[in-house]
Structures are given as C-alpha cells and as structure tokens.
Amino acid sequence: MTTTALTAELQSFADTVVERKLKNGLTVLLIPREGVATVHFAFAFGVGAVDEPDGRTGIAHLYEHMAFKGTEAVGTKSWRKERPLLRKLDEMDGAMMAERARGPAADAGRLERLKKRFDRVEAQAEKLVEPNEFDAVYARHGGQWLNAFTSQDMTCYIIALPSNRVRLWTAMEGARVRMPILRQFYRERNVVIEELRIGRDSPQWRLYEELGVLAFTAHPYRIPVVGWLSDLQRMTRTDLEGFFRSRYRPDRAVIAAVGAIGKDTFKLIEREFSGWKVPGEPARPVVTVEPEQNGERRAVIHMQANPALAVAWPIPTWGHPDKAALDALSSVLGNGLSSRLHAGLVKKRRVAVSAAAFTEFPGERYPNLLTIMAWPRAPHTPAECEAAAYEEIETVTRDGVSPREVTKVANLLEAQRFQQLQDNTFMAAELAGAQATLGDWRTRLRWVGDLRKLTPDDVLRVAREYLVPRRRSVITLLPTGSPASTPAVPAASIDPLLPEHPDA
Amino acid sequence: MTDPRKLKFPRLEVKPREATRHVLRNGIVVHAVEDHSLPVVNLGILFRAGTIHDPADRAGLGSMTATAMRLGGSRLLPGDALDEEMDSMGSSIDTGMDDDQFSLYGWTLARHLPRELELMASVLREPAFPPEKVELTRLQELEMIQRRWDNPQQVASLQFRRAVYGPSSPWGRLGTAAQAKAVTRDEMVSLHRAFCRPETAIMTVAGSFETAALLRDLERFLGDWNPGPATPAPVPEPGGALPPGIYLVPREIGQANIRIGHLSIELDHPDHCPLKLLDMVLGNGTFNSRLFRDIRTKRGLAYSVWSRIQPRALVPGTFTIGCGTKYETLDEALPAILGHVKDLRAREAADDEVKLAKDQLDHGLAFEFQSAWSVAWRAAWYEYSGLPADWLMREREGVLAATKADILRVAKAHLHPDKLILVFVGDPAKCRPALERFGTVRELPIPDQSSG
C-alpha cells in the first residue's frame, strides 16, 4: 500500500503526538492536551484471543481479569506465606480435574475429600489477601476508570490519574508487568464464567458469536473472545502464568499517555520500563489462513427474542490495497441514516427497524468480515430483510456508486475518526491499540487519505469481487418455537414501496 | 523496587474550568466552553418537557414527537435530505424525550458548525412532520415496543421501574402498541408547539469555536424565535407501586438477573450527600465497594453487581442494587446482598472504606474539569434541574464532610429492608426453590403490550 499524506486536520492532530521507543522495543506515545490536569494512560499489548493455544480459549481475557489481583507487594498481607498455599491449591485443583476426567469411573468420595481440603486451603489463602488493593492504591490517589479490555487482537489496560501522579502509574504498572501474582484465581474464573453467561443471554452477543463460528472454519477468529465454557472450567493458574510469560513482552507493548504531559513524563516511564527484559523469541504469530469459501453457509439461532439477521463476506485487512475501498463500500451500504441499507430497508421498504454494515469483525489484525445486520420489523421476517439487502447490494454491483457518495462516506469516516479521539481515555486506548495491533498508530489516520483517493470504480470493483453469494455466511436469529428454518422469500413478495407523501 | 503504596504526592492544585453563560435576546440560555485541541464541536439543548406529561391514553406521544422531529426534518430541509446532508458532513443531530426532558444533541466538525446550528434551529423551530415520516416514526415505535423485552438485563430494569413507580403511573408506565397506533400527526404538531419554546431552552456548546462568532450564529438562527407565555405543566406524582416482595419474571435464560430496591430521595433532600457517600461504600464506584468486594471478588458469584442511589429533581429517585448470578448460587448471593443492606443500618462503616471513597473523590477533583463538554453540560444540567451554579463544589464538600455516623443515620432513614421490591428474571423452575425460602414469590409477567 502506498503511504498517503494525512488530511490537514488529521496532520495537525498527528503533529501533537510524540513517539519514542525504548531499547527493549517498548513504544511510548505522548499526546499533550491543553487545559487539563489529568493524564490518561493506556497500556496495550499485542496479544489477544487469537493468540490462545488450543483448549485454552478465553485465556487472554481471563488473564486480563487476573492482572488486577496485584503483585508481590500489592494485594497481600504476606506473599511469603501466601505462596505455598497457592501452589497447594493448584495441585489440588489438578487432582480434582484428573479425577473428574475419569468420567463415570471418578471416585466421588475422593472428589469430595479433595474439595473440602481445597476449600480449607482457599480460606486460609483468602485471609492473607488484601482484596482489590491494586484498585485501592489508584483510588486513594483519585484514579478514575481503572479498567481493561481484551479483543481478538489485543489487550489494553486503562487508568486516568491526576497529572502529578505519573510516578504512581509507573510503579504500579512496572510491577504488574514484572511480578504479577495471580491470587484468588479460582474465584475469578467463576466471575468470568458469569460474564460469559450474561453474554450468552443477549441476542446481540449470540448473533456475533454464531457469526464468527460460521464464517471462520480454521482461523482463530472463529472463537469468541470470552472462550468456551468447558475450556474456562479447566483453565489453571499455571496455564495463565505460562501465557503471561511468553506473550506479555516489551516489544509487543505500547504505552500511550494523553493529557497534562510534563517534562518528566517520558523520563519516569523510561526509568521504570527500560529494565523490562525481552523474554526470548516471540511466540509464533497466527499462521493459519482461512481457506477460501466456496459455497454459502447458513445457521439459525433460536432465542426468546425478536428476529435478527447477519450476513457476512470475508475481506482482507490492513496492508491490502482493497482495504479502504471495502470500508467505503461498507459505509455506502450501512453507515448512517442516508446509507443504502437504512434508506432501502428501513425508510422505503419498511421491512426493518434498523440496518447497518461494518467491517473489522471479529478483528482487524487478520482478514475479517464485511458484515451487514438487519433487525426485521414485525411481521416482516429475516428472509425478507435478506432478500431486500441483496437487492440493495445488486444496485451497487450493477449500477455502481456516485462520486458524491464516495466523497460522502470519506467525510463521514473522517468525522467518525475525530469522534473516537475526543475523549482522552479513548484517544489513549485508540492510539496504543493501533500501534500494538497494526504496528503504527498513524495507520487509521493515513487511511482517511486513502479514502479520499478512491473513485466510484474502486468501490464498484470491490463490491463485485467480494460480495458474492458463494462466499457469504448467513445467521438468522428466530424466536424460540418458530420453525427451524424459514423459506427464502422471493424479492417480489416484499411490500410495495409506500408512496411518497406530497408534503415530504 | 518502589512499593507504590508508600509513594506520597503533594495535593494537586486544580484550576477550575468554568463554562461561560450567555443569554440570547429571546432568553435562550447558552453555556459554552471553548476547547481547540480537536477541530470538533459538541452541542446539546434541553427543553422543559417529558413523557410524564403524555396523556393517559397516549403514552409514547412525547418520544414519538421527538423522533418525528428529526426523521421528518424541517421546512428548511426535509428528513431524507437532512439525513443526506448530515452524513455528508459527518455530523449528527439526535432528538429524544425522556421522563422529564426533551433533548437535542449534535456533533460536528468545527468547519461545519454554522450549518449544523442552522439545521438544529430549523428542526427545533419548524419541524415539518410530513405524514410519511410520522408513519415511519409510528412503525419504528411499534417495533421498539415489540423488542423492548429482548435483553434480560433490560427486562429486569424495566420491570423494576414499573414496580417501584407503579405500572400505570406516568413515571412507571410503558407505551403500548394500541397507544402508538392512536397517536396522530395533529397531536404531535400541538405537543411540539406547546413545549418547544425558547423560554425553557438551555443550551450547551463545547469544542473548537470562537464564542463571539458562536453567539452571532445562535442569535441569527434562534434569536428571533419569539417566546410565549411559559405555562409549566404540573408534575404528576408516581403512584400505584407494587407492594414490597419478591417478583419473578419468567424467562428461560442461563442466569438470574436481579434488581432490588425501592424509591429514594429527591435531589434537594438534605441527606443527599451522606447518601451519596453511602452508595459509594455499598456498591457505586470502585472494585472496593462492599458489593463488588464480597459478591464478586471474594465469592466469585457475579460479574455484574452494583448499587445506585439516583435522586431525581421532580419526584423521589430510586435506590437499586443490580446483580446477575447463576441459579445454583442464587441462595448464596441473595442473603449476602440483603445482609449488606441490613449491615449498613446496624453498624457504622469502617474508617478505611469511608476514607477510600472520600480520597478517590477528593483527589479526583481534576477529573471534573478534564472535558470541555462535561464542564459545559454540567452547568446547563444544574440550571435545568434548578440546582445552584456552584452545586459541584457544594456537593463535593457535602460528601467529604459526611462521617460514618452520618452514613449510619441516613442508612436507617433511607434504606428500608422491609420495603424492598425484589425483581428476578430467570427460569422459574430454577429460581423458585431458592426464592421461596425468602418469602412468597409472585409472578410479574411481561405486560401485554398490544392493548391498553
């Protein structure tokens, strides 16, 4: 891909970003903002759910939870006393798991004895814990929004502090990347399982989960970030420690600080993190390439909810010359109230209450999907929405798009870029995340320039090339109790367009 | 290696950032904060209105009117053309009506600000309500009614709200399909004419603009909008709340969703500040609130567990505890949660938990001023709610001055274990055995929304 100049407004934003790199590969981004007395930190690691070993799905996200349990100093009354207890718990958990794995032959009496001993030791260990002290230390200094998130592509930790507390941040985070202690593991594992349950009860969440599973057969994007219940139930503390040691590395990490950046901000960061050693060779990145799809795939979800539809096609990602054109195509189809799907399905045909299109699900580090979603308006069905969506797509692949439409979506996407940068914590997470995931925080800013160079022919060409029936995956969510599948409705049976009112 | 717990820092001197207050020639109040760090502008405008004023047989009229104002566009620019121009600028204008306010929010790149203001003004002053978009609004509303109960967490929140405010009171009711079908274009036109008046408008603008130029534009687009006699509608009272007790909303899902609470105080209640501190200690805030620390961290029973005491300006607000846990642990989570409510009434809070909550608030002062929008919005919101302009500092001082004795006192006065409404959304076969140990379980089915 050619390197594109930034637009004037994005250039003047980019000019405010100071980029430094430590010898161990850690990247530091400093973005000063005027008129504020706070610093908003994001600490991003180029490790996400895609990097999980087989049978350990959900480990990246579970680790993220455990990263709040403290260090050898923070979170404990005595690490020395705590340590042997944690080992013992791991051993007993392993013994219980092995016993359970024998299935019907498992010795129930032994399991019960083990569980009793386990509970006793866990209670002893619990007495040594200073619960949530990691949070308390930040809170005591006025820290806000302590949190973290894990995606397919990366993991990012955030906190905002009063501007004179940078040293607190470096001390806390320096310890967190060097000597994290994964205490209270067995309780936190249950917390994450409850998080999974919340997700699985939500129609939206299920739609995404099933779409990943259907559209990807080989690439790890097929697995939801939270992982599978059975894997979580068998995850061990040792698994997490191994994952942390190989994956959390300075050469895959990025710190972004936004706000009141002082003269000593970088020095403090450098002093803390320059001694963070690179732990040997990096783990092998994902090498699996999703095989080309050669036939439509369909699946149905039944839930106690109103119907929904998702259709997705595989597309390439950053670094591919079609990236910008595909994003523009997606916006032409379903970004905004004037987009083709909204205008066609919601406003004109009135078969849907909402319709949208987007790229970069399930992630953006690897080839992903151009997805359209529609929520049918009763009594209309997902099948009617699907037929109507295909007609809208056909008008694009047949007649193309106008130059005005291409300019419109470039404007819209540029504006949305700024919208995502206006909150200081979001800005930190966005830039650190882009650097950790894509290797360059400017990627998305340059992409706006790429969008500006697109012609209607570029958009037409990618529409014809990528949005083909044999490559699509279709998920239909239907209310519990409805027939297992709905017959595809021919386009002709869709409601005739409502007449435009003379007043309109 | 440095022990971060031992680090000491001087108190950060924080220079408060203030919004400037302006009044247009017709009385519209504008709170503005310039911030040139990004070429963007956020704006908002509130009008005194609300769905609480919808006629009894027209629940939904207010929010449908607000939606139709935007979807239908204005005499200056009809709805579809407005959509097109908004997307072309990358800007947005969104309208909505809540219980007790009408709001319009806008976002734009700074270079399009004058046009954004012009379009905002036209949507407010002369919405066209074309019949075709009135009809589209109705169809959208009907589908939202249909989909209201899709997400179990929302089911829990809505059923709790209906229960505490009364299912048919203006504060607890939900519009039905029959009512949405009955709303006419004429009703929307007269409602808009009645509430969308400059004399009750309070505006917020934050971002990259010159204030003098902004005010010139606002005078141009809004200044000649003549005020009429203000006729504030009387505020209806909540009423007909369900009796305290256990309510089960049947749903075949993987986890029980819980809301527990009752009505609480109004915004101007003298116990507001100590109650806010109590809420922080109980479950609103850090990982170290009691509910988070016990139910989530120590017991591993829930991902989501929290408390919220939300006072309201016009009527009593709510005290709510929310939680989601698997059926097998319902009988451990429920008594533990109720235990925390009772404990707050039985004994004083510990010094360290009170200190932690106060420290976070105290040292977090800088965060009150970190975003131009939040500074400007807060000023507008205080004025809209009838709070004094210096409410931020008054409230902070009130919370910081509250003691553990105050917390105990307000817990006894404002938390009522015998008046709790407990709403559970979940599989009846799996919930009932655990719940019946705590009292009679009544079903609270999702209401029939087709009629009424």
Q: What is the 3-state secondary structure (H, E, C) of A229-276?
A: HHHHHHCCHHHHHHHHHHHCCHHHEEEEEEECCCCCHHHHHHHHHCCC
The 10s digit of each residue's pLDDT in A362-382 is 999 999 999 999 999 999 999
Alpha-carbon distance of A430 to A244, in angstroms, equals 23
B447 with B247: CB under 8 angstroms? no
Of chain A, the end-to-end C-alpha distance in Å amounts to 45
User: CB distance A37–B366 less than 8 Å?
Assistant: yes
Which residue among A140, A165, A167 sits closest to B356, beta carbon to beta carbon?
A140
Top mean pLDDT of A100-104, A416-420, B113-117 is at: B113-117
Is residue A71 scored above 50 in pLDDT?
Answer: yes
Mean pLDDT of chain B: 96
Q: What is the distance of C-alpha B246 from the center of its chain? A: 26
- What are the sequence ranges of the domains in chain B? 20-222, 245-443
The 10s digit of each residue's pLDDT in B316-356 is 999 999 999 999 999 999 999 999 999 999 999 999 999 99
Alpha-carbon distance of B78 to B82, in angstroms, equals 6
Which residues of B are less than 8 Å from A12 in CB distance? 39
Nearest CA to B143 among A295, A355, A89?
A355
Which residue among A408, A423, A504 sits closest to B130, beta carbon to beta carbon?
A504
Nearest CA to B303 among B360, B250, B252, B256?
B256
Nearest residue of chain A to residue B141 (CA atoms): A353
- Cα of A316 to nearest chain B Cα, Å: 26
Is residue B126 scored above 90 in pLDDT?
Answer: yes
Per-residue pLDDT at A500: 35
Q: What is the mean pLDDT of residues A173-197?
A: 94
Q: What is the mean pLDDT of residues A68-97?
A: 96
User: CB distance A424–B370 less than 8 Å?
Assistant: yes
CATH architecture of B20-222: 2-Layer Sandwich (3.30)
Per-residue pLDDT at A343: 98
ipTM of the complex: 0.95
The 10s digit of each residue's pLDDT in B258-301 is 999 999 999 999 999 999 999 999 999 889 999 999 999 999 99
Which residues of B are less than 8 Å from A133 in CB distance? 5
Is residue B450 scored above 80 in pLDDT?
Answer: no
Q: What is the distance of C-alpha B296 from the center of its chain? A: 25
Alpha-carbon distance of A223 to A152, in angstroms, equals 9
**A/B interface, count of CB pairs below 8 Å:** 261
Which residue among A38, A174, A304 sits closest to B370, beta carbon to beta carbon?
A38
3-state secondary structure of A286: coil
- Hey, of A337, A354, A416, which one would you mutate to test binding to chain B, going by the most B CBs within 10 A of its CB? A337
Per-residue pLDDT at A489: 42
Report the 10 Å Cβ neighbour count for B212.
Answer: 8
Per-residue pLDDT at A284: 83
Domains B20-222 and B245-443 share a fold: yes
Q: What is the mean pLDDT of residues A163-188?
A: 96
Instruction: Give me the sheet containing B245-250, strands edge to edge.
Output: B305-310, B318-325, B256-263, B421-426, B245-250, B441-443
Is residue A487 scored above 50 in pLDDT?
Answer: no
Alpha-carbon distance of B176 to B162, in angstroms, equals 14
Report the percent of chain A where pLDDT is more than 90. Answer: 91
pLDDT grade, residue B367 (50/70/90)? very high
Give the predicted TM-score (pTM) of the model. 0.95
Axis crossing angle, helix B351-363 with helix B272-282, rounded to the nearest 10:
110
User: CB distance B9–A197 less than 8 Å?
Assistant: no
pLDDT grade, residue A488 (50/70/90)? very low
Is residue A498 scored above 80 in pLDDT?
Answer: no
Tell whether A54 lies on the interface with B, counting CB pairs under 8 A. no
Mean pLDDT of chain A: 93
pLDDT grade, residue A483 (50/70/90)? low
- Cα of B170 to nearest chain A Cα, Å: 26
Tell whether A259 lies on the interface with B, counting CB pairs under 8 A. yes
Is residue A484 scored above 70 in pLDDT?
Answer: no
The 10s digit of each residue's pLDDT in B99-109 is 999 999 999 99
Tell whether A127 lies on the interface with B, counting CB pairs under 8 A. no
Per-residue pLDDT at A4: 66
Outline where A16-107 has alpha helix (H).
59-66, 79-100
What residues contact residue A51 under an 8 Å CB cut-off, 6+ apart? A60, A220, A247, A283, A285, A286
Q: What is the distance of C-alpha A456 from the center of its chain? A: 31
Which residues of A are less than 8 Å from B84 in CB distance? 338, 408
Question: Phi then psi for B425, rounded to 5 degrees?
Answer: -110, 120
User: CB distance B298–A187 less than 8 Å?
Assistant: yes
Alpha-carbon distance of A298 to A284, in angstroms, equals 33
User: CB distance B366–A38 less than 8 Å?
Assistant: yes
C-alpha R_g of chain A: 25
Alpha-carbon distance of B123 to B77, in angstroms, equals 9
The 10s digit of each residue's pLDDT in B184-199 is 999 999 999 999 999 9
Tell whether B367 lies on the interface with A, counting CB pairs under 8 A. yes
Per-residue pLDDT at A7: 80
3-state secondary structure of B448: coil
A238 with A183: CB under 8 angstroms? no
Tell whether B115 lies on the interface with A, counting CB pairs under 8 A. no
Per-residue pLDDT at A493: 37
What CATH number has the domain spanning B245-443?
3.30.830.10
User: CB distance B38–A418 less than 8 Å?
Assistant: yes
User: CB distance B87–A338 less than 8 Å?
Assistant: yes
User: CB distance B86–A336 less than 8 Å?
Assistant: yes
Per-residue pLDDT at B230: 67
- Cα of A247 to nearest chain B Cα, Å: 23
Max intra-chain CA distance, chain B = 72
Tell whether A448 lies on the interface with B, counting CB pairs under 8 A. no
Give one DSSP letter per residue of A301-365, joined into a string. Answer: EEESS--EEEEEEEE--TTSTTHHHHHHHHHHHHSSTTSHHIIIIIIIS--EEEEEEEEEES-SS
In total, chain B counts a number of residues equal to 452
The 10s digit of each residue's pLDDT in B26-42 is 999 999 999 999 999 99
Exposed / middle / buried, residue A496 (Cβ in 10 Å: 0-12, 13-18, 19+): exposed
The 10s digit of each residue's pLDDT in B203-258 is 999 999 999 999 999 999 999 999 887 677 899 999 999 999 999 999 999 999 99
Which residue among A134, A139, A175 sits closest to B360, beta carbon to beta carbon?
A139
Report the 10 Å Cβ neighbour count for B213.
Answer: 11
